[in-house]
Amino acid sequence: MAGNRAATPVQRLALPLVCMGAIVVLVYLMKLAFALPTTELDGGLEAADGAGTVFQLADGSHFPGEGKIRIGEEEISVQRIDAKGGKVQSGKDTVLNPNRFKVLERGVNGVAPANHAAGAAVSQVAKGLFFPENNSSFGDQVDELFYLILWITGIAFILTEGFFLYCIVAFWAKPGARSAYTHGNHRLEMVWTVIPAVILVALAVLQSGMWTEMKMSAPSATEPGVVTVQVVAKQFEWNFRQAGSDGRFGTQDDIPSTGRLVVPVDTPIRIELRAQDVLHSFFLPEFRVKQDAVPGLSVPVWFKAKRPGTFQIMCAELCGLGHSRMGGTLEVKTKEAYAEWVATESTKWNGENDGTDRPDWYGVQAKIWWWWDSTPTSVGFTGESNDRKRKS
């Protein structure tokens, strides 16, 4: 050691500063590691389709910054990487310059590529610092509460860490100085216990109305104008069943699907959530909806979409080795487009159909909905039996 010279404040702060720097570098490396795998459109798509190909935007509202394009059955999310790239033509038809776009994810028929689901969520979340843009009727309240809590904890963090750094500098060991021992300060401890307790109780009171609206006010399936969707989570997919044109479940025009949910805008959507194997969590980041799917329970969830578009469905509960690819697509259509979609999908099946339009109906889907219909009614936390909630 260099004699008895006391360390300067810079020397005293060196270690904490190096630690903080290491954490920043670590976070950055993690961000790189979990970044969405991207393919330059140039080379991949260009080779297949050539420059100047006419693409159709699935959701015009996100263009020109970011959007989805379709080529035949394939749906591709793209992001413009140059402000001068791309050229919007009238209507829905758009000519893209492939050199100026990068592919975010590719999927077939509206189903997100499973192995990109987790990465896509990370990019979605990173887009709005914490949240992707809200699209649900109650989402703004959730965001407000989040930012309020962030402010409170942020201020507390800066105050406590600032005091901590001050103490490191001010009370650094000095040659010849002796430690002072204390048994604490009763009054001080009361203060820093009571203040957080008051804040917590205030937050609990403040959010109770929102909690009631989000978690305890799911519209009943018998209410007029409510669209009910039965959801079965299983390793590692989301399965959906909607009533067809007849508005009843368990009939031949039911609309089953895996990984793709279609709902109308500005309409209460009632989700009846069940899990076939283990815990899953139904997560719609853009709708601030996250609800555990629990084997043995039927849990009602609801939301109302503010605008049409294509959104993410995620599993937010580590449910096994394939958890990261347990994703899907939520398509919000206008009311007219939704009615049209139901009419079309309903006719894909009828008694005379040989099933070629709906091959899945004979396989996995049939097993899933047979399970739904035959498993003894489970009771969710509303206390309703599953049977009574059904439209039929």
Nearer residue to Cu ion within complex by CB, 314 or 332: 314
Distance between the two ends of the chain, CA-based, in angstroms? 83
Least distance in angstroms from the C-beta of 313 to Cu ion: 11
Place of tokens 């402000």: 83
231 vs 326, beta carbon nearer Cu ion: 326
Q: Which of 280, 304, 333, 389 binds Cu ion (CB under 5 A)?
A: 280
Residue 96 is a binding residue for Cu ion (CB under 5 A): no
Asked if 261 touches Cu ion (CB under 5 A), the answer is no
Distances (CA, A) of 248 to 221, 338, 351: 11, 17, 16
Residue among 117 and 142 whose Cβ is closer to Cu ion:
117
Residue 49 makes CB contacts below 8 A (sequence gap 6+) with: 71, 98
> CA distances (Å), 125 to each of 122, 130, 220, in order?
5, 5, 32
Half-sphere exposure of 294 (CA within 13 A, CB side): 13
Taking Cα atoms as reference points, which of 86, 84, 101, 95 lies closest to residue 43? 101
**Is 293 near Cu ion (CB under 5 A)?**
no
* Nearest distance from C-beta of residue 170 to Cu ion, angstroms: 50
Site membership for Cu ion, residue 315 (CB under 5 A)? yes
Closest distance to Cu ion from the beta carbon of 124 (Å) = 18
Residue range at the interface with Cu ion (CB under 5 A); choices 86-94, 222-230, 272-280, 284-292: 272-280
Residues 6+ apart with CB under 8 A from 281: 290, 291, 292, 293, 315, 316, 317
| Smallest separation, CB 260 to Cu ion (Å) | 16
Nearer to Cu ion, 315 or 332 (CB): 315
Q: Which is nearer to Cu ion, 214 or 326 (CB)?
A: 326
- C-alpha–C-alpha distance, residues 198 and 281, integer Å: 32
Task: With beta carbons less than 8 A apart as the criterion, state whether 69 and 57 touch.
Answer: yes
| Position among 299, 319, 330, 342 found at the interface with Cu ion (CB under 5 A) | 319
| Least distance (Å) between residue 363 CB and Cu ion | 21
Does residue 120 touch Cu ion according to CB under 5 A? no
326 binds Cu ion (CB under 5 A): yes
* Residues binding Cu ion (CB under 5 A): 280, 315, 319, 326
